[in-house]
Amino acid sequence: MMELTRKGEYAIRGIVYLASQPADRVCLLSDIAAAVDVPATFLAKIFQQFSKIGLVKSYRGTGGGFLLGRLPEKITLLEVVEAVEGPITPNRCVVGPGECIRDVSCTVHPVWKRVQGKVRDVLEEVTLKDLAGV
């Protein structure tokens, strides 16, 4: 359980690759896809999501492509994962009050809260710089 989907895997591979390239090198989606062995059309969707929240910058037209949106050390793995997989929510009831019908005295609730916190902590302290190994 708790498995990352392909989408999440691809997202990490793609953006880590981008982070490993020279900072000013505009990368073609097709090149990234080939390099990390991911279907280009699928990776395109992923990078669109990245682009919307500024994790990468995109340029259209001739000479276009992608650049990292911020310095690699300023992008955490947590951001990358949550960008494509949504927030870390081990159980519905950690989302917010009212989500858990078996409400008030749900004894399991705080446990999932703890799990959520731990996972976020681990993912948040890892940056693309660490992963790209520059």
Indicate whether 41 belongs to the interface with DNA (CB under 7 A). Answer: yes
In angstroms, what CA-CA distances link 123 with 39, 69, 94, 110, 130?
26, 19, 18, 20, 12
Task: Compose the 55-94 pattern: x for residues touching DNA by CB under 7 A, - for all others.
Answer: ---xxxxxxxxx----------------------------
Q: Could you tell me the maximum CA-CA distance found in the chain, to the nearest angstrom? A: 59
For the chain, the straight-line distance linking the first and the last C-alpha, in angstroms and rounded, comes to 32
Task: Please state, in angstroms and rounded to a whole number, the distance separating the CA atoms of residues 8 and 28.
Answer: 20
Residues lying near DNA in the complex (CB under 7 A) are found at 5-7, 27-30, 39, 41-42, 44-45, 47-48, 51-52, 58-66
Residues lying near a second copy in the complex (CB under 8 A) are found at 1-5, 8-9, 12-13, 16, 77, 81-82, 85-92, 102, 105, 107-108, 111-112, 114-115, 118-119, 121-123, 126, 130-133
